[in-house]
Structure 1
């Protein structure tokens, strides 16, 4: 498939690792942060635009996969140019992504989670811009993620406001 080829080449191992890191990391962070938190979350007052709970794992698995593909494509492009394939903004946004679940669910620091998510959105935009410079498709693959985080930002803000700013 052309999506997995960069300059006509594909590296299955790099692709698998690039996809596995956000998928496994996201699953682990979600599991650790959400243990014993879902009952409390269900009792929160949520806005009318909140999706059904089953939406979140579906969307996040898709986004983590596209994020991994974007990382792979940008890294492959840099490798073919003889450059180091590291992207610190990508690693930062991924860490912030995982941290948010703990702030919001486990520690119930909704205001702090909102601030952190604002920083996360900036880190995603920076990552998308850096990826776009290396490979247009890689940068564009980050756009749905930015859109979802922007939506999640509004959801976080509304939940925080509706629940006495706890």
Structure 2
């Protein structure tokens, strides 16, 4: 796949928001309550960009086709887990992975996850924590495929989420 992965800039916010709106509608059509409560929103994306958490994926025509936030900070919702994290080491939190659903590209979300893992390794951090809704079949498949370990349940904005962690090897073995 010939894609570019880079930090999002404030100039990207409207396009990122359009992708997130697609994701919000997709989850709604699937009958999920995930992303149906006003989150995420443009202010969340602006905060991602201002803190250098936001990353976009562009195709060979420089069109933004995906977005993910990778946050190098403690996620308060992860402090209490019904279960156990694999480690309590420093970690990156992943949120808001979305891809273009109007012109879908098979394997793009997996490609994004591989690239974000490499970015995290480049920062010499070896742990990723992430959560998703129990009915987000696409993300659950990706976590399984990429060897993320189910650790338990966390509560995010009052709703239970399935929590996963992956320990990255220093050689980045996929």
Whichever structure has more helix as a proportion of its residues is 1
For the pair shown, the structure with the greater C-alpha radius of gyration is 1
Whichever structure has more strand as a proportion of its residues is 2
TM-score range, shorter chain: 0.3 to 0.5
